[in-house]
Amino acid sequence: MKIITYNVNGLRAAVGKGFAEWLAAEQPDILCLQETKLQPDQYPALVFEELGYTGYLFSAQKKGYSGTAILTRQKPDHVQYGMGIEKYDNEGRFIRADFGDLSIVSVYHPSGTSGEERQAFKMEWLEYFQTYAVKLQAEHPNLILCGDYNICHEPIDIHDPVRNAKNSGFLPEEREWMTRFLSAGFVDTFRRLHPEKQEYTWWSYRSNARTNNKGWRIDYCMASEPVMPQIKEACILNNAVHSDHCPAVITL
């Protein structure tokens, strides 16, 4: 089984940049998307159905904003939309699909870059998300949490850790949360399999950041420990250019 997570920064825009052709070549079994930025009636279903994928979407109430989705070739046994908290679910940030004893989540953590109010919202979300994920893991031990976490954990995950130390996404309190989250029974699959690789999943559109590889690794395929013996590979597809992010992949 091949699982890909990808913040597409607008699914319709990505389709216009060759996303469907890329998907046909990669052929993941399950594709977790973030920042779909569309309503269900705007979803280009035919494009993906022709490739064999059924899409399950959880859109934000605000149009053109946020949103998560899971595209899959295999029909899930159950799909869970949201986490049951209105202020988070209104932003379409969490969707889960169950396949037998394996549960797969697409999650889009808030960004705090727009100011103190959203940074506070992000920190509250992170605490609730961890509590929710730990409880979910107790019910579904084989759990994969794919998505844009909007946090670099360690200096190896960011191109300039010194200058970014006071920027949202690499703040001490965010990094400390990530450490606690991983200590609660979750694994950063890419870092576990590649402890010394310095690769990124997001680059600013400014200052030729991608050309100069001044990036951040903020997109993760997290897994519960019981899943780890099944994971054969974890990698980053940094040649995919449909977004300011690129995909992260795990193979089971």
Single out the catalytic residue among 148, 157, 188, 219. Answer: 148
pLDDT of residue 82: 98
Task: Judge whether 148 counts as a catalytic residue.
Answer: yes
pLDDT of residue 76: 98
Quote the mean pLDDT of the chain: 98
How many domains, in total, are found in the chain?
Answer: 1
pLDDT of residue 159: 98
Domain span at 23: 2-251
Query: What gap in Å lies between CA 197 and CA 25, rounded to an integer?
Result: 25
Cα 133 off chain centre by: 14
pLDDT tens digit sequence for 26-72: 999 999 999 999 999 999 999 999 999 999 999 999 999 999 999 99
pLDDT tens digit sequence for 90-139: 999 999 999 999 999 999 999 999 899 999 999 999 999 999 999 999 99
Cα 76 off chain centre by: 19
pLDDT of residue 17: 98
Cα 81 off chain centre by: 16
Give the CATH number for residue 202.
3.60.10.10
Structure tokens at 117: 């109010």
Cα angle 82, 109, 131; round to 5: 65
Half-sphere CA count of 241, side-chain side, radius 13 A = 4
The helix, strand and coil proportions of the chain, stated in percent and rounded to the nearest 5, come to 30, 25, 45
pLDDT of residue 158: 98
pLDDT tens digit sequence for 179-219: 999 999 999 999 999 999 999 999 999 989 999 999 999 99
